[in-house]
């Protein structure tokens, strides 16, 4: 394991600043695309990205997590804005959602994150990686009808992930394809050992060179018929002619909507979904951290709450920690929260000072960057590792991936969690005890040795096994090693002790109540004639 010494944010600028530039290029189109997919003003996505970077980044305890507008909330936001009628009313719900998240943080609701199974977490990472890769193929070929940040299978442009790829074949743009190919070649070169051995290539990240090359090729192709890019194929940041116009893009909430009950319902939905998505991303990000640091989840909920309150106050979308940005940060070598904060500052400064330059960046170049992020999240080695861990891990992992790819992130996680619980129940059903069968002088003997912990989940398995024991059998139920036994299981054994009195079964129960501190432990024997006796061990 790598050393965690010298991870003070002030000592890692050489790693964090280059990483922040990579995160900035990933976050910029996603902020705009998610706003578009949400039916909200484009600037609202940028506001959420800025606050997610600067404010949430500063308050969060996550060393490499990056927050901003989340694709998983896009459908909820779109529906909420339509139902509430105006974006200004929706902003009130965002503020209230932030307050709810603050409360959740103070009552330590963040501890729920520790109960997410690793199979679902890794499934989420791989599923997002696959969906990112698939969604970027049309952008790389120059077909940009579906906005960046739309990660649902059924897309806002009326198509789905796979039909979009088929449709793009009718609209291939040579200019975009060349730009994507050149950008991808640069990124792959930066991954080679030859480039990694020189410090200059560590400081100057491949994505930066890819973006500059993309801008250069865009300008070069601008006057070439058949190769020039149209407005749909490049970044589209709102341009303000003056500071007054810039601040006019901020939207204030309509607090008169506080009397509207629908606002509170929307706030609760946003708070719950955003909190769950954040906690899942926190777990996933921590698992990717090479230093294996643990994010304080309750502090994270508080940070997200403050971020959403501020975002709602000035016209931003809801904020969560986002795995795409966080993964890009980690892959680019980010070590501390400075990279998240600086990426937010870069968003703010660039849209204020150089929006025209940003609007020269081809989406094909950004597609190449996201190709790399997606591939690293869904490497074949991850699938091999999960398979080697057994079907109990592999099945929820695969189901989570399929749910994310063929429905959306939230459904995929929900289905994956349900399958993981079913696997847990199945395993609990199978292994609450060891059963040993013997044959002594023609008489069958079954010894049931209960585990150290026997919970209510084991009821069905134990009851089924006891009911299947045939007559003319000697049965020993040994609870001497049991430290905890749920009352329901104890009741099953007590009832069985009564029921065998009418069967040709000789029952011996060892230390049934020892886990309660009964001293000395008691043996209970039930003979086939119905009589039973107790004796000290």
Measuring CA to CA, which residue among 217, 208, 225 is closest to residue 180?
217
The four Cα atoms 316, 103, 296, 405 give a dihedral, to 10 degrees, of: -50
pLDDT number for residue 531: 46
Residue located via tokens 């979904």? 273
Measuring CA to CA, which residue among 110, 27, 30 is closest to residue 341?
27
pLDDT number for residue 425: 76
Residue located via tokens 């969690």? 417
Q: What is the mean pLDDT of residues 216-228?
A: 95
Residue 521 pLDDT exceeds 80: no
Q: What is the pLDDT of residues 252-301, one digit of tens each?
A: 999 999 999 999 999 999 999 999 999 999 999 999 999 889 999 999 99
Calpha distance 101→308 (Å, rounded): 9
Q: How many CA atoms lie within 13 A of 424 on its CB side?
A: 15
Lowest mean pLDDT among 58-72, 222-236, 284-298, 502-516: 502-516
pLDDT number for residue 500: 84
* 144, two tokens: 């940009």
Question: If one looks up domain 432-536 in CATH, what number appears?
Answer: 3.30.750.24
Q: What is the mean pLDDT of residues 243-256?
A: 92
Measuring CA to CA, which residue among 41, 21, 2 is closest to residue 317?
41
Q: Mean pLDDT, the chain, as a whole number? A: 90
User: CA dist 325 to 266, 388, 414, 450, Å?
Assistant: 26, 29, 22, 48
Q: How far apart are the first and last CA of the chain?
A: 50
Residue 308 pLDDT exceeds 90: yes
If residue 505 lies in a helix (H) or strand (E), which one and from where to where?
strand 505-510
Residue 439 pLDDT exceeds 80: no
Q: What is the mean pLDDT of residues 512-533?
A: 56
Residue 3 pLDDT exceeds 70: no
Q: Pick the more confident residue, 440 or 80.
A: 80
pLDDT number for residue 25: 96
Q: Tell me the pairing of strands 532-536 and 522-526.
A: antiparallel
> Taking phi first (over 0 means left), then psi (-120 to 50 degrees means alpha), and beta for anything else, what does residue 179 get?
alpha
Lowest mean pLDDT among 22-36, 206-220, 388-402, 520-534: 520-534
pLDDT number for residue 535: 44
If residue 496 lies in a helix (H) or strand (E), which one and from where to where?
helix 487-499
Sorted by sequence, the CB contacts under 8 Å of residue 480 that are 6+ apart come out as: 510, 511, 514, 521
Q: What is the pLDDT of residues 111-140, one digit of tens each?
A: 998 888 999 999 999 999 999 999 999 999
Domain residues of the chain, as ranges? 13-416, 432-536
pLDDT number for residue 104: 97
Lowest mean pLDDT among 81-95, 353-367, 396-410, 451-465: 451-465
Calpha distance 511→129 (Å, rounded): 53
* 174, two tokens: 């040579």
When mean pLDDT is compared over 187-196, 220-229, 510-519, the highest value belongs to 220-229
Q: What is the mean pLDDT of residues 436-462?
A: 81
Residue 455 pLDDT exceeds 60: yes
Q: What is the pLDDT of residues 310-330, one digit of tens each?
A: 999 999 999 999 999 999 999
pLDDT number for residue 1: 46
pLDDT number for residue 486: 84
Residue 21 pLDDT exceeds 60: yes
Q: ∠ CA(65), CA(56), CA(264), 5° rounding? A: 115
Q: What is the mean pLDDT of residues 81-97?
A: 97
Residue 498 pLDDT exceeds 70: yes
Q: What is the pLDDT of residues 162-212, one digit of tens each?
A: 999 999 999 999 999 999 999 999 999 999 988 888 888 877 889 999 999
Tell me, rounded to whole angstroms, the distance of Cα 340 from its chain centroid.
18
Share in percent of the chain as helix, strand, coil (round to 5): 65, 10, 25
What would the DSSP string read from start to end of 260-314?
-HHHHHHHHHHHHHHHHHHHHHHHHHHHH-TT-----HHHHHHHHHHHHHHHHHH
Q: Pick the more confident residue, 17 or 197.
A: 17
């Amino acid at each position: 394991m790598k050393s965690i010494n010298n991870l003070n944010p002030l000592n890692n600028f050489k790693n964090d600043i280059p990483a922040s530039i990579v995160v900035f290029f990933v976050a910029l189109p996603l902020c705009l695309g998610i706003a578009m997919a949400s039916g909200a003003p484009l600037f609202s996505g940028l506001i959420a990205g800025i606050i997610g970077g600067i404010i949430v980044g500063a308050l969060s305890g996550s060393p490499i997590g990056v927050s901003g507008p989340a694709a998983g909330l896009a459908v909820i936001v779109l529906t909420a804005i339509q139902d509430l009628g105006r974006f200004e009313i929706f902003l009130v719900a965002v503020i209230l959602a932030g307050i709810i998240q603050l409360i959740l943080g103070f009552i330590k609701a963040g501890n729920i994150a520790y109960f997410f199974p690793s199979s679902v977490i890794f499934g989420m990472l791989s599923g997002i990686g696959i969906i990112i890769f698939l969604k970027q193929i049309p952008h790389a070929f120059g077909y940009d009808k579906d906005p960046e940040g739309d990660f649902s299978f059924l897309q806002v442009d009326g198509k789905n992930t796979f039909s979009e790829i088929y449709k793009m074949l009718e609209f291939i743009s040579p200019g975009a394809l060349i730009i994507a190919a050149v950008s991808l070649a640069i990124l792959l070169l930066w991954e080679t050992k030859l480039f990694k051995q020189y410090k200059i290539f560590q400081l100057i990240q491949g994505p930066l060179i890819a973006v500059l090359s993309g801008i250069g090729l865009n300008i070069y192709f601008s006057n070439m018929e058949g190769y020039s890019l149209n407005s749909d194929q490049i970044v589209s940041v709102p341009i303000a002619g003056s500071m007054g116009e810039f601040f006019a893009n901020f939207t204030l909430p309509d607090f008169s909507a506080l009397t509207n009950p629908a606002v509170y319902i929307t706030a609760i939905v946003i708070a719950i979904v955003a909190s769950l998505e954040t906690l899942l991303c926190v777990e996933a990000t921590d698992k990717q951290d090479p230093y294996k640091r643990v994010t304080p989840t309750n502090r994270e909920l508080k940070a997200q709450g403050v971020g959403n309150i501020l975002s709602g106050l000035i016209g931003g979308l809801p904020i969560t920690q986002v795995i795409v940005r966080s993964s890009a940060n980690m892959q680019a070598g980010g070590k501390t929260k400075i990279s998240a904060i600086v990426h937010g500052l870069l968003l703010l400064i660039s849209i204020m000072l150089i929006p025209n330059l940003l609007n020269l960046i081809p989406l094909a170049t950004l597609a190449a960057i996201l190709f790399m992020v997606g591939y690293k999240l869904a490497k074949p080695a991850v699938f091999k590792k999960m398979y080697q861990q057994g079907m109990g891990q592999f099945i929820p992992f695969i189901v989570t991936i399929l749910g994310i790819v063929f429905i959306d992130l939230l459904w995929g996680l929900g289905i994956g969690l349900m399958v993981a619980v079913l696997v847990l129940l199945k395993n609990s059903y199978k292994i609450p005890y060891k059963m040993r069968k013997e044959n002594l002088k023609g008489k069958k003997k079954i010894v049931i040795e209960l585990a150290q912990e026997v919970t209510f989940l084991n009821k069905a398995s134990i009851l089924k096994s006891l009911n299947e024991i045939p007559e003319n059998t000697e049965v020993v139920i040994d609870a001497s090693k049991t430290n905890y036994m749920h009352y329901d299981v104890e009741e099953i054994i007590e009832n069985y002790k009564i029921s065998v009195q009418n069967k040709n079964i000789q029952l011996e129960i060892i230390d049934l109540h020892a886990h309660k501190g009964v001293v000395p432990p008691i043996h209970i024997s039930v003979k086939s004639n119905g009589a039973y006796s107790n004796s000290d061990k």
